[in-house]
Structure 1
């Protein structure tokens, strides 16, 4: 829930995939897992031999069922535009597979400069370094661990499953409640460096 609000679609597709394979979970069970790798999440509710098939079912349903109900987070387009006006680049690094990332971003009309998928937590650091990121904005503790591993400020936004205390404990340099507070937080971090 950093640039897009995909919560309803993710939860619906998780319910769908779990049901096809004899698993079940509540919305409350699933909400804290959003942002983590799909296979890890499914493995919490299904036997190991069902996870790959459930992941395939989830991904098929995601493109047809979740993408159409995904919306841009308030301020996402403005944040991207402001970064571009300042001569910066926007790189989206996500645990989602790249086709799903592109489908969602295209649906909501957001245009980052680069998209990298299938990475989580410290695994995202390689892409952040490779693309010359100077800060990383995320809603998950794994995002803050990625920023720390990349040696850049992690700006936690509390629009996702983790609260400010969790994001700080994971290494956030700053925590904000909305995307319109991101650039001031990044500028503050730069002044303190």
Structure 2
């Protein structure tokens, strides 16, 4: 486990996943997949999709479309997403306060997500979150390069793949039980700390980080 005491306030940078960590995208993603079904005629079980959010879009589409169609269907989904899903997105409980807690301590906020960078930026803008960097198109251990590049010492996410990302980057893993995995599963997977949701994050950060 990384030692939080080694990170001085001047170096503090906290990374956040986006979907189901900072952003409640379930309604918008569901509506976009429903629109995709209507357009393509291919049945997609939206509740099943929503229940396993986290991996890249192409992986999810692979459950419903043949391999040769995935690239084109993914492009169509992303073309629709901005008009359908972004306006339906809301902040997860405690998300604005979590971001502000980092900034109040002189820290930087870096969003690293599997969502495409363009749509991730649009989502962050929709939520009005004052983040410093948005990096998209990365999943699991693939996020480690961006986390290291931006000096992230703490990475917050809702998925076991986010725990993998933190480990690979040598960052402290904070898991929130707001996505497809409950607290017990995240704890068993090896997250350094597990919180019920982001509402608990400012208090946790205050106990582990001196004010800048």
| TM-score exceeds 0.5 | yes
1:135 equivalenced with 2:167 (yes/no) = no
Separation of aligned partners in 1, 2:63 and 2:172: 31
Against the structure 1 CA distance between its residues 130 and 186, is the aligned structure 2 distance closer, same or farther, given a 3 Å change threshold?
Answer: same
- CA 1:106/1:139 → structure 2, altered by over 3 Å: closer, same or farther? same
Residue pair 1:18, 1:46 contacting (<8 A) in 2 also: no
Q: Which has the higher contact order (CA 8 A, sep 6+)?
A: 2
Q: Deviations over 1:114-158 (max 9, x none)?
A: 010000000001111111111110011111110111111111111
The equivalent of 2:95 in structure 1 is: 76
Of 53, 59, 64, the residue aligned with 2:83 is 64
**Residues 82-101 of structure 1 mapped to structure 2, 5 A cutoff:** 82-101=101-120
Aligned length: 191
State whether structure 2 residue 139 is matched by structure 1 residue 120.
yes
Q: Describe the SS at the equivalent of 2:121.
A: helix
Q: State how far apart, in whole Å, the 2-side matches of 1:137 and 1:155 are.
A: 5
Equivalent residue for 2:123, pick from 95, 104, 109: 104
Q: Is the 8 A contact 1:32 1:162 kept in 2?
A: no
> Secondary structure, in 3 states, of the residue corresponding to 1:41?
helix
1:188 CA drift (Å): 5.9
Q: What SS does the aligned partner of 2:64 have? A: coil
TM-score w.r.t. the length of structure 2 is: 0.83
More helix by share: 1
Deviation at 1:23, TM superposition (A): 2.5
Unaligned runs of 5+ in 2: 1-19
Structure 1: how far apart are the matches of 2:61 and 2:168? Answer: 26
What is the root-mean-square deviation in Å for CA atoms of aligned residues?
1.8
